[in-house]
């Protein structure tokens, strides 16, 4: 007997469901950055959220929350796990994003205050309120739903899950991607995600999901730091890089966006990773007193643009990312094509 949520599907759509045991792990589908804005009846458009990707698994009474790197998150966000444990459906896998709001904008920097907590009691006492925006469902009550179209999966998701408390359904707009993008940027949002409405769920970076970004920003790997000057503590600036194949390439320094606690805590972490030689590929003259570290820590940085020589212009530190491996960090390329 299929779940009630599947009554939202047509007969041909139900035939595309496959009966399987619950999935133990699914690599998340990722969006490709594009510099082309478009409107299309075959696409839907969702708000781009600046948070932590989270795949939620429920099997009976057990709920597990995982980051992209398969880090367990339920002790950090116990209110989300508890809400999912109280759902009427007791076997599902959903995909979404955990965020914290500063006013009407999602703030990765604010979310950082929760992401370092692994004690559920402390997490519940935190003043940082978090929301889990679910945007896809991959498995439900013994059925793999990844073979359904995106529109069909979203209908199933909305029917299967009760969106109360810290759970939200990720709403979308049809057709008008250009207008939605302009509206998103005027509201100070990070951008929007364009998704091909008939696309299946595939565990890779796909041209069927595209990022329209209002501001430029991405992850970088920390390869070193400079000495603090004046009354500043911790460090002066971080040396940033990204990978080009096996080469770790220098992308410039970031010296803004840090509070005193971050300067202190991050300096302690960097001290444990110090090495004598520069990890950056090729010869480059760094200022005297520069410290180099193993390129293991990933951070989020916003900036205005790339210079012609591959450096960041006006970068600002947003926070440490623990949900992405350093080896995955590359310069985000844009695509102007649609498929």
* Catalytic residue numbers, as ranges: 48
Distance of CA 172 to the CA centre of its chain: 18
Q: What DSSP state is assigned to residue 72?
A: B
For 261, the enclosing helix (H) or strand (E) is: helix 260-271
For 213, the token pair is 């970004």
Local structure of residue 85 (DSSP, 8 states): H
On whether the CB atoms of residues 25 and 70 are closer than 8 A, the answer is yes
Q: Cα–Cα distance between 312 and 315 in angstroms, integer?
A: 6
**Per-residue H/E/C for 119-140:** CHHHHHHCCCCEEEEEEEEEEE
Return the number of other C-beta atoms located less than 10 Å from residue 142's C-beta: 15
Give φ, ψ of 331 to 5 degrees. Answer: -70, 125
Torsion of CA 26, 166, 49, 143, to 10 degrees: 30
SS3 12: helix
Q: Where are the alpha helices (DSSP H) in 170-236?
A: 177-186
What DSSP line would sit under 28-65, residue for residue? PPEEEEBS----EEEEEEEEPP-SEEEEEEEETTEEEE
Q: What are phi and psi of 177, to 5 degrees?
A: -70, -40
């Amino acid at each position: 007997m299929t779940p009630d949520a599947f009554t939202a599907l047509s007969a041909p759509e139900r035939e595309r469901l496959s009966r399987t045991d619950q999935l133990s792990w699914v690599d998340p589908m990722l969006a490709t950055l594009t510099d082309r804005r478009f409107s299309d009846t075959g696409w839907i458009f969702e708000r781009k959220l600046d948070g932590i990707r989270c795949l939620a698994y429920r099997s009976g009474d057990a709920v597990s929350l995982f980051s992209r790197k398969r880090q367990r998150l339920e002790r950090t966000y116990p209110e989300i796990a508890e809400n999912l444990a109280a759902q009427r459906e007791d076997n599902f896998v959903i995909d979404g994003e955990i965020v914290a709001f500063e006013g009407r904008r999602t703030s990765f920097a604010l979310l950082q205050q929760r992401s370092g907590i692994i004690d559920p009691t402390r997490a519940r006492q935190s003043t940082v309120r978090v929301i889990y925006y679910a945007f896809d469902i991959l498995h439900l009550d013994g059925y793999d739903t990844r073979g359904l179209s995106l529109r069909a999966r979203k209908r199933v998701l909305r029917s299967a899950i009760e969106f109360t408390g810290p759970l939200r359904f990720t709403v979308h707009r049809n057709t008008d991607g250009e207008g939605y993008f302009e509206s998103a940027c005027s509201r100070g949002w990070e951008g929007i995600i364009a998704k091909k409405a008939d696309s299946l769920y595939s565990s890779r970076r796909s041209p069927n999901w595209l990022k329209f970004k209002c501001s430029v920003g991405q992850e970088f790997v920390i390869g070193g730091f400079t000495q603090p000057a004046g009354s500043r503590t911790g460090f002066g600036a971080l040396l940033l890089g990204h990978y080009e194949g096996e080469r770790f390439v220098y992308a410039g320094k970031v010296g803004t966006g840090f509070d005193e606690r971050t300067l202190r805590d991050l300096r302690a972490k960097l001290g444990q990773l110090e090495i004598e030689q520069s990890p950056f590929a090729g010869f480059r003259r760094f200022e005297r007193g520069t410290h180099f570290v193993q390129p293991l820590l990933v951070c989020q940085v916003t900036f205005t643009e790339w210079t012609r020589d591959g450096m960041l212009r006006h970068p600002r530190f947003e926070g440490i990312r623990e949900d992405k491996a350093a080896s995955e960090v590359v310069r985000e390329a844009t695509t102007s094509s649609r498929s």
